[in-house]
Structure 1
Amino acid sequence: DKAVLFKTFMKVLAQRKNLMATFMAKWSEKYPGQSGHIHCSLMDLENNPVFSTKETGEMSEVMVNFLGGLQKYSKEFMALVAPTTNSYKRLCVGAWAPINMTWGKENRTTGFRVIEGSPHSQRIENRLPGADANPYLALAATFGAGLLGIKEKLQPTEPIHGGAYFIKVEDHHKVPGSLLEAAQLFKKSEAARSIWGDQFVDHFSATRVWEHEQFLKNSRLFENKQKISNWELKRYFEII
């Protein structure tokens, strides 16, 4: 709720000063993109944190499984956290944005950053969402993937030490290359259908395919992945 209100407030404040605030994921290739990272942790019914059970900061099995779920299912849910054609121009090498579903401790080049600390502060940062994401859908994707990981007792890969941009990863751990690919993955995802139902998955994936088609029809620069087209700026700069 605060994220939505903040965006609205900033746009109103900027307008009063004859400016325009934008939350496009990547409005210029000259600058890093704008993120919408999600820091997440869980508590039990007695409000006790469950990601860490020791003051040493050791990851609990619940946290490990949650992380495993993020790694396994985030690619299928990517359309929810990166919902525009412009979203995927933020996810590039060297801009402190992830390009894969790897994880590491205090690693800002991976898709998921584990932040160690006291039981109440230990958490996982999902670095995939951009500022253009609907925060409610991004939260649903994050916790949906994580809870499936707990349910299935999934194990994550080994943590990444150092840069994660030039390492070899499995295809299912690579960020989708476009909104169209993300929409197709979401539509085919049995996990997504188990969480949100057929009606939502079919409808949302169709809207993302349509969005991609509009981009292809109207942008002359779509072949250059990092170039921001005039069509993107006209479509997204003000409304996002």
Structure 2
Amino acid sequence: MSTDTQVIKDWLKQHQISEVECLVPDMTGNARGKFIPANQFLDMGEPRLPESIMVQSVTGEYCDEHWELVEPTDADMILVPDPSTMRVVPWAREPTAQIIHDCYTMDGKLHPLSTRNVLRKVLDLYAADGLQPVVAPEVEFFLVARNIDPDYELSPPEGRSGRKETSRLSYSIDAVAEFEDFVEDMYDYAEAQQLRVDTLIHENGAAQMEINFLHGDAMDLADQVFTFKRTVRETAHKHGVYATFMAKPMQQECGSALHLHQSIVRADSGENIFITEQGEHTEAFLSYIAGLQHYTPELISFYAPNVNSYRRLAPDISAPINLNWGLDNRTTAFRVPASSPAATRVENRFPGADVNPYLAIAASLASGYLGMKKQLKPSKPHQGTANEDEVEVARTLEEGLRNLGNSPEVQEVFGALFLKAYAAVKRDEFEEFNRVISSWEREHLLLQV
């Protein structure tokens, strides 16, 4: 019995687990997998899933290029559990475990269509140079009233006062208290799963909240965000409301982001390579920012992965529309927060809350890595409101996908097959969305053009 197998077996016994959820993050970042009785989990051998689930769109459809991306026989992937991701499922009726699995091809290689493997490949590039990324995500989401008819607009839920929010209540303590029962259960669930959530605030939107995670290892944080999204949705269901991570769920409200704070340290010493002993920004730091500026147009579809995502990237103060960076300037895409020298970092403000966390983190870290390798130079830090400058990124998913994989270095980092599969899946989603005739078109074009 391998060490990992023994660790898992002991953990399942310690927690008296009766069922195991074998989880795999799909292209969208949602959980796919199997439920397996605990007494069979370790005896049945390695679980398997068809690799075709990796190229399903958010609607469950297969793209036209499906059989060019996976084996025409719809071959299986081998799933290998990662013991570091073992967590209880606090909302389950019976003692249940959830374990994130890595995907391998049948000949034992890391599967190229696994988004978790994409992030691992980027982290391996840093490890080869003796470096380790440190990240800290900030995740925003809305609570909304239950809505079973997609033709109706979403609205905020009633709080404990029996009223719905109508004002802009950023950082309001009383507004959070309206959903005190939800918040307490969410924290209890997070603690039971050892999610390192930190600060909770009320954001600018009605019933919009933000959770900050403590900084740490990039893969671990991606796993935590993946788990956290499930946790928030389950907590909301318990309280008779919905939680949504759509980037722009309501026309009159702001969007939801997943801001990524990131720094790079030396693996052996923990030294932050972004700052000198004299407290000055290093050339590596400037090249890292330049990499974010240079590669974001090419990788924007990893930060804005859905047709709805681009509604958030509008010319206002809450989301970036160009590639400026600045010192403690929240209107820029890449913000350098005021901090102690050891905590020097850059915040990527492009990702929406709807991202696959593995891909968003991979894209951001890969951009910085390539910037450092190519010794790119950034623009000067922006002064004033960056949103008054020109739009410099795609405004639709289709436009973003046309830019994906334009450079050979991005092709090499992410893999040509993965980029082709991602673009095919997301292009299919765009085309399906584009066939829908909206109420705006019927209202303004029906009798007037």
The TM-score with structure 2 as length reference comes to: 0.47
Whole-angstrom CA distance in 2 between matches of 1:221 and 1:124: 41
Whole-angstrom CA distance in 1 between matches of 2:311 and 2:258: 14
Whole-angstrom CA distance in 2 between matches of 1:162 and 1:222: 35
Residue number in structure 1 paired with 2:272: 49
1:219 Cα offset (Å): 4.1
Residue number in structure 1 paired with 2:428: 210
From the superposition, tell whether residues 221 and 206 of structure 1 become closer, same or farther in structure 2 (CA, over 3 Å): farther
| 3-state secondary structure, aligned to 2:336 | strand
Between 92-101 and 122-131, the greater mean CA deviation after superposition: 92-101
88, 94, 114: which one aligns with 2:336: 114
Residue number in structure 1 paired with 2:379: 157
Aligned length: 218
346, 350, 373: which one aligns with 1:128: 350
Which runs of no fewer than 5 residues in structure 2 stay unpaired? 1-222, 442-449
Whole-angstrom CA distance in 2 between matches of 1:191 and 1:80: 16
Tell me whether 1:194 sits opposite 2:412 in the alignment.
yes
Residue number in structure 2 paired with 1:17: 239
1:116 Cα offset (Å): 3.8
Whole-angstrom CA distance in 1 between matches of 2:352 and 2:390: 24
The TM-score with structure 1 as length reference comes to: 0.86
Residue number in structure 1 paired with 2:294: 72
Contact 2:313 2:395 in 1 (8 A): no
- CA deviations over 1:185-214 (Å, ceiling 9, x no partner): 104343321211110011101111111101
Q: What aligned pairs does 1:24-35 form with structure 2 within 5 A after superposition?
A: 24-35=246-257
1:120 Cα offset (Å): 2.2
From the superposition, tell whether residues 43 and 222 of structure 1 become closer, same or farther in structure 2 (CA, over 3 Å): farther
Whole-angstrom CA distance in 1 between matches of 2:267 and 2:418: 29
Residue number in structure 2 paired with 1:59: 281
Higher relative contact order (CA 8 A, sep 6+): 1
1:101 Cα offset (Å): 1.1
Tell me whether 1:177 sits opposite 2:395 in the alignment.
yes
In our comparison, the structure showing a higher alpha carbon Rg is: 2
Which runs of no fewer than 5 residues in structure 1 stay unpaired? 224-240
AA partner of residue 147 (structure 1): Y
Q: What aligned pairs does 1:80-95 form with structure 2 within 5 A after superposition?
A: 80-95=302-317
| 3-state secondary structure, aligned to 1:125 | strand
Residue number in structure 1 paired with 2:228: 6
AA partner of residue 105 (structure 1): L
Residue number in structure 1 paired with 2:63: none
> Percent identity, aligned pairs only?
37
Whole-angstrom CA distance in 2 between matches of 1:222 and 1:135: 33
1:66 Cα offset (Å): 0.4
| 3-state secondary structure, aligned to 1:98 | coil
Residue number in structure 1 paired with 2:367: 145
Whole-angstrom CA distance in 2 between matches of 1:37 and 1:219: 32
Whole-angstrom CA distance in 2 between matches of 1:221 and 1:98: 28
Contact 1:37 1:130 in 2 (8 A): yes
- CA deviations over 1:108-136 (Å, ceiling 9, x no partner): 11110012422321100000000000111
AA partner of residue 251 (structure 2): E
| 3-state secondary structure, aligned to 2:264 | coil
From the superposition, tell whether residues 221 and 134 of structure 1 become closer, same or farther in structure 2 (CA, over 3 Å): farther
| 3-state secondary structure, aligned to 2:261 | strand
More helix by share: 1
Whole-angstrom CA distance in 1 between matches of 2:403 and 2:440: 21
From the superposition, tell whether residues 203 and 221 of structure 1 become closer, same or farther in structure 2 (CA, over 3 Å): farther
Whole-angstrom CA distance in 1 between matches of 2:278 and 2:247: 37
Whole-angstrom CA distance in 2 between matches of 1:157 and 1:84: 29
From the superposition, tell whether residues 104 and 129 of structure 1 become closer, same or farther in structure 2 (CA, over 3 Å): same
Whole-angstrom CA distance in 1 between matches of 2:439 and 2:292: 33
Contact 2:301 2:401 in 1 (8 A): yes
Contact 2:322 2:389 in 1 (8 A): no
- CA deviations over 1:131-173 (Å, ceiling 9, x no partner): 000111000000100000000000101111110112247xxxx
| 3-state secondary structure, aligned to 1:67 | helix
Whole-angstrom CA distance in 1 between matches of 2:277 and 2:437: 53
Tell me whether 1:99 sits opposite 2:321 in the alignment.
yes
